[in-house]
Chains A and B, each alone.
Chain A
Amino acid sequence: MQDIINIFVKSIFIDNMVFAYFLGMCSYLAVSKTVKTSVGLGLAVVFVLGITVPVDYLLNQYVLKPGAMTWLSADLADVDLSFLSFIMFIAVIASMVQLVEMIVEKFTPALYSSLGIFLPLIAVNCAILGGSLFMQEREYASIGQATSFGLGSGIGWFLAIVGIAAIREKLTYSKVPAPLRGLGITFIVTGLMGIAFMSFMGIKL
């Protein structure tokens, strides 16, 4: 249990998707103009990461890993399908996003209309695929760990995008040098936020 909480906290603050690995930067920069839309996108990312990472974990554990398919028959012990993982993961993500979109549309139309275009766009958000690939590389021991990693990274991403959106809303009132306006200052502010997040380094539960 303790390791699960530890992974959760670590993936929110220390291994933050945006500040430590620059994942999901495209939508992070494009959608962070207002706080409202960024909250919507952030929630969608938390949701999709929380589903795809455990699903990809099962896929990795029972199909892709070297010798993973021994539960089918002992002859398959030396089958190594790990080179297929990119294409399998992206397929899982694309179909999961589609599924989530349909479920949300059916049961909570209000949330669906507020997320709008962002739901389908999540399929090509690097943070999602990055979550699955990090999960594979770090070899989490149980599905509980993988799930808490997925949720934690999603929440970290959510915090980052809501934070930068709030700062950008205030920035419209400040006098920024013309060449730095817009994109440039956003990069620098993100860098400063990253340095602030680094103060969490070394926290262990």
Chain B
Amino acid sequence: MSEKEPLFSSKNMKLLTNPLNENNPITVQVLGICSALAVTVKVQPAFVMALSVTAVMAFSNVIISLLRNTIPTRIRIIVQLVIIASLVILVDQLLKAYVYDISKQLSVFVGLIITNCIIMGRLEAFALGNKPWPSLLDGIGNGAGYGIILVIIAVIRELFGSGTIAGFQIIPQSFYDFGYVNNGLMILPPMALVVVGVIIWVQRAKNKDLQES
């Protein structure tokens, strides 16, 4: 290597910003939907979930990237699973220690970060072939891309389903006095799927390159 790349070169910044829109893990790569939708009834758990996934993804990306030349290819899946599982145990214990109520609401979905396909996907596609620093950026970028979609869905569902955002009353009481009723359908699980469908619709209508033929 002749010249050292600056830490925030445009190539590295692309790693961070690409997953936010045109390469979004949920709406474009279709990864990690499994554990994403069930936690989006309220904004708070969605936010905590997004943070946990970002943390696990960033750290596992860095660890795998450091070990990439020593892991035998045949057993790499097991190695990845063990590393992810240990990080998830750490996150789970931290959540239980500091935000017990939210950890109860997230229930099994914290454990399901282990089988979240985004993490495995990024480890396979990126960390195994890149240096630690770009891997860290890639992990944070994809975590943020995942988190943004999660929070958008949660805001929509909580606003229409309960009239609040992150617990604060947004729709004024006078609306209710006139006969406005919260849309109970939004709280039900199937509506999360419909909301994601609509988000994909909007995104693809704006960005024609993503459309499927």
Contacts and interface: CB of A to CB of B under 8 A. Distances in A.
Interface of A: 19-26, 29-30, 83-87, 89-90, 94, 123-130, 133-134, 137, 177-188, 190-195, 198
A99 to B, nearest CB: 14
A94 B78 CA distance: 8
Interface in B108-140: 108, 111-112, 114-117, 120
Given A83-B89, A87-B86, A126-B35, A22 B189 contact: yes
Given A178-B211, A193-B190, 20 more contacts: A22-B34, A22-B36, A23-B112, A26-B34, A29-B30, A29-B33, A86-B88, A87-B89, A94-B78, A126-B34, A126-B112, A130-B108, A180-B204, A181-B211, A181-B213, A184-B197, A184-B200, A187-B193, A187-B197, A190-B193
Contact of A195 (B31, B81, B190, B213): B190
Contacts of B92: 83, 86
Contact of A125 (B37, B115, B213): B115
B85 A87 contact: yes
B193 A188 contact: yes
Contacts of A195: 188, 190
A20 B38 CA distance: 8
Given A26-B34, A29-B30, A124-B120, A129 B194 contact: no
B32 interface: yes
B183 interface: no
Nearest to A195: B190
Contacts of A129: 111-112, 114-115
B93 interface: yes
A181 to B, nearest CB: 5
B116 A126 contact: yes
A185 B114 contact: no
Considering residues B37, B93, B108, which has the most beta carbons from chain A within 10 angstroms of its beta carbon? B108
Contacts of A19: 189-190
Interface of B: 27, 30-38, 77-78, 81-82, 85-86, 88-89, 92-93, 107-108, 111-112, 114-117, 120, 188-194, 196-198, 200-205, 211-213
Contact of B85 (A86, A181, A183, A198): A86
Contacts of B86: 87
Contact of A188 (B33, B36, B194): B194
Contact of B115 (A126, A177, A181): A126
B141 to A, nearest CB: 20
Considering residues B117, B193, B201, which has the most beta carbons from chain A within 10 angstroms of its beta carbon? B193
A146 to B, nearest CB: 15
A183 B212 contact: yes
B201 A191 contact: no
B33 A25 contact: yes
10 contacts: A22-B33, A22-B34, A22-B37, A24-B34, A86-B88, A177-B201, A183-B200, A188-B193, A188-B194, A198-B190
Given A26-B117, A87-B86, A134-B108, A180 B34 contact: no
Contact of A180 (B38, B108, B200): B200
B189 A20 contact: yes
A145 to B, nearest CB: 17
Contacts of B77: 94, 123-124
A190 B191 CA distance: 10
Contacts of B205: 179
